[in-house]
Amino acid sequence: MTVKVLFVCLGNICRSPLAEAAFRAEAARLGLDADADSAGTGDWHRGEAPDPRAIAAARRNGTDISHLRARQVSAADFETFDHILALDADNLADLRAIQPAGSRARLSLLLDHVPGREGEAVADPYYGDDSHFDVTWRDVTQAARALADKLARQEAA
């Protein structure tokens, strides 16, 4: 059965598109049957491509995210997805506030899946430079690897 995973940040143009791409790569590496998507809690960038600096960071790491388009998270996402991963604590609080009662998605903080990094945020690189986007890529790759490993073990169980 395909596991469906959604990554959510604020704008859906910096962190969550990178998380989506990193997770796709890790799922492919493990042969995990998974679908990934990303969204933002805000709607300011709806329909836009990822930030050029995020596209460049992905490209430096061998991945193209230029085709992705930003969208806002919706109530339906809480039924569509098995897991919704928040990039920081504000994103998680905003998701909890709009989660329909009884919906099936399991919410968590992305870095909670990395042993030793529980409670940490993937920092917002929006006001940073290329080096901040490289940190974002490292963070989301580490988390995507841990999450994909966990889901693969669940699939095998």
Is 126 one of the binding residues for ligand 4NP (CB under 6 A)?
A: yes
Task: Give catalytic status of residue 129 as yes or no.
Answer: no
Q: Candidates 3, 124, 139, 140: give the one binding ligand 4NP (CB under 6 A).
A: 124
H/E run at residue 30 = helix 15-30
Is 44 one of the binding residues for ligand 4NP (CB under 6 A)?
A: yes
- DSSP secondary structure code for residue 130 in this structure: H
Task: Give catalytic status of residue 130 as yes or no.
Answer: no
Nearer to ligand 4NP, 12 or 142 (CB): 12
Q: Which stretch binds ligand 4NP (CB under 6 A): 11-19, 27-35, 99-107, 138-146?
A: 11-19
The answer to whether residues 108 and 85 touch, using CB atoms and an 8 Å cutoff, is yes
Q: And the tokens for 58?
A: 């992905």
The answer to whether residues 131 and 109 touch, using CB atoms and an 8 Å cutoff, is no
| Residue with the CB atom nearest ligand 4NP in the bound state | 11
Is 53 one of the binding residues for ligand 4NP (CB under 6 A)?
A: no
Task: Give catalytic status of residue 124 as yes or no.
Answer: yes
CB neighbour burial string for 133-148, b if at least 16 within 10 angstroms, e if fewer: bbebbebbbbbbbbbb
Q: Which residues bind ligand 4NP (CB under 6 A)?
A: 9-15, 44, 124, 126
